[in-house]
A and B are shown apart, each in its own frame.
Chain A
């Protein structure tokens, strides 16, 4: 187990040009995720939450401001294999089996698969896919594919885990089930996690803190702490406190500075 690292965004600005017009994606965004914490980013479509995640992955670069993982640039972190990522819609390679799809990050960073065989096997067990090692993605259900993506995100034993709406394509019933499983998986490693989501209850169930974002331009509206003790069970979904917290988040998403 490697030591976890913190993720810091400080005064980040990012402007895209859309058909020649500048589009302010992020305006002076500062978010700090302490090492070992679970942070959820929530906000309307186009508020820049995915952009924030892409900055931390080194897929985009900020116009100004600072993005750091464990005090270093995201490029350094990803070269050392310290980051793990899962996108919405599993994005598995259709010709690779469950086992070799999970091994893809190792292939990319050039680690021999042989050494990781034991880890891959344990990850497959962890996400409940034992017996499906050789299955191709098309033989799996949507939820199973997403579990493969989660296992793939964990294969490098990352210190930081980025999840971009990992369950966005699943139905509500399956989603709750996956939330419970993700928490179980996360508790085993405690990687610093940044989850981008559209689901209020997903954020409230999984995160230590919820960062609520606004759009046009993308900015942080408020940060809400989630007090529930871990491990959190399915009964939490029925808890009145849980619902109150969800209402607070919904209120924060709704409230307009002009009102």
Chain B
């Protein structure tokens, strides 16, 4: 109760400072309006909001529905047949890592109406729900499985009595992550969709009018929508968890999907098939929907455009030039975000006051469609390099900080206390216990962060700076340069997937070295 009060007091203080700073126009000449000004503007615009908010909410809700259905279905299949999981690994990694903005123009070209928004929202939901479902179904108490087995129950009985119910809270917490993603996906599609209604369309439409208070009003409304969806599922998940957490620790959890089966030859075949499957699905989709080949480029057409056509030299030069602008910023932002998160999480492990202050803020940002707030950051940081870095750091820092802090909280207190019991100074405690213990979480955060960083940079480039891959995509869209639209999407996905794989490789090497 006292803690809740102190949080309230802190929030009130922050609001007060914001109000003073806003009124005095201290930040970037009024780019940060006072809360009261935002509220006043919101009241004036109140008639505009319902159609926009409804459009976004409906797209996000349908996206959440389809994406979660696909995710749960796929999760069940992957849990039951590990080979399917291995075959679909390429598809899953691509869906996880692809920066949604990169495929917005492609979706807008190939689909009509609100379909691009729903698809993009669904794509944002699929991965977290699929991963949660697989995890929830496979990580069950092995002793209970033995018990069911000892009474003659087979795989079906174990699924029915054990797996399904113990997966429920995990799936719900996957939905909790997916819900804000759906809102983000819908808004991103609205950015590039040219539709009339939707918070994204409203935001883009208002970008030209130098009215920071309205932009903030829209941004905060989008955040509220995503936050509401998050907390609805958080409540459900909490309700389901209260009855479902194992009270005693199992000696060991059932290993996920087990080691890759088969010999080296079979593994190689599966790996190649997994890499080719996304391309095959892409080719299949473009032919199955009878889309005009001029607009819906097949894999072969993109390869032809980039390597065999008369324009290929120019196309390559533009793509590489854009990459050379995008990649360094993305990597710098990612590194800076992760480094800050790592350092602050370690500090927080030893100075709980820091994490008490920072963790709630970071948790709230999880629910924000942060990248959708790029226009606000443009107001604050201008249209130069600073805004790109600011976006990239902000999308990588908060999730990484939360992941590493929560990981560190799992380290047994005794392990952290042991060096101190032998009189070690604080830096030695960090070096010996806390840093190695948080490594797995740092790597997980890096893998998540890499995909988000590319998305952040591309959105900033698209909306603000006019450089790099994001701008190239936006220009190609304006010029109806279909082949280039597809090429940028493919390159963005490839960059993201490559980075993901590199980080995964580094993670495995490091964790092996640390015996985890």
Contact = CB atoms under 8 A, between A and B. Distances in A.
Interface in A54-108: 54, 57-59, 75, 78-79, 81, 83, 85, 87, 89-95, 104-105, 107-108
Interface in B141-156: 141, 143-144, 146-153
A32 interface: no
Contacts of A35: none
Contact of B151 (A81, A89, A91, A142): A81
Contacts of B251: 89
A59 B150 contact: yes
Instruction: From B146, B245, B248, name the one whose CB has the most chain A CB atoms within 10 angstroms.
Output: B248
Contacts of B243: 94-95, 136
A93 B143 contact: no
A169 B247 CA distance: 13
A109 interface: yes
Nearest to B149: A59
A142 B247 CA distance: 9
Interface residues on A, range: 20 to 34
Interface stretch (B157-165, B186-194, B315-323): B157-165
A87 B151 contact: no
A43 interface: no
B11 interface: no
B151 A105 contact: yes
A93 B150 contact: no
Interface string A92-132: 11110000000011011100000000000000000000000
Given A93-B144, A107-B161, A85 B248 contact: no
A92 B165 CA distance: 13
Contact of A59 (B144, B146, B157, B166): B146
B244 interface: yes
B345 to A, nearest CB: 30
Contact of B146 (A87, A93, A109): A87
A175 to B, nearest CB: 16
A104 B143 contact: no
Contacts of B152: 58, 75, 78-79, 108-109
A137 B141 CA distance: 14
Nearest to B142: A91
A85 B146 CA distance: 10
Instruction: From B152, B245, B247, B250, name the one whose CB has the most chain A CB atoms within 10 angstroms.
Output: B152
Contacts of B247: 92, 94, 137-138, 145
A171 to B, nearest CB: 14
Interface string A195-208: 00000000000000
A91 B143 contact: yes
A145 B251 CA distance: 17
Given A59-B149, A138-B245, A93 B157 contact: no
Contact of B162 (A79, A89, A93): A93
B246 A58 contact: no
Interface in A119-157: 136-138, 142, 145, 156
Contacts of A137: 247
A87 B162 CA distance: 16
B413 to A, nearest CB: 21
Nearest to A140: B247
B151 A94 contact: no
Instruction: From B141, B150, B161, B166, name the one whose CB has the most chain A CB atoms within 10 angstroms.
Output: B150
Contact of A94 (B143, B148, B157, B244): B244
A90 B150 contact: no
A87 B153 CA distance: 17
Given A91-B141, A95-B165, A58 B150 contact: yes
Contacts of A162: 150
B144 A91 contact: yes
Interface string B71-88: 000000000000000000
Interface of A: 54, 57-59, 75, 78-79, 81, 83, 85, 87, 89-95, 104-105, 107-109, 136-138, 142, 145, 156, 162, 169
Given A58-B150, A59-B150, A108-B152, 9 more contacts: A79-B152, A81-B151, A83-B151, A92-B144, A92-B247, A95-B244, A104-B161, A108-B151, A142-B248
26 contacts: A58-B152, A59-B146, A59-B150, A75-B152, A78-B150, A79-B152, A83-B150, A83-B151, A85-B150, A89-B143, A89-B248, A91-B248, A93-B161, A93-B162, A94-B246, A94-B247, A104-B147, A104-B161, A105-B151, A107-B161, A108-B151, A108-B157, A109-B151, A138-B247, A156-B151, A169-B248
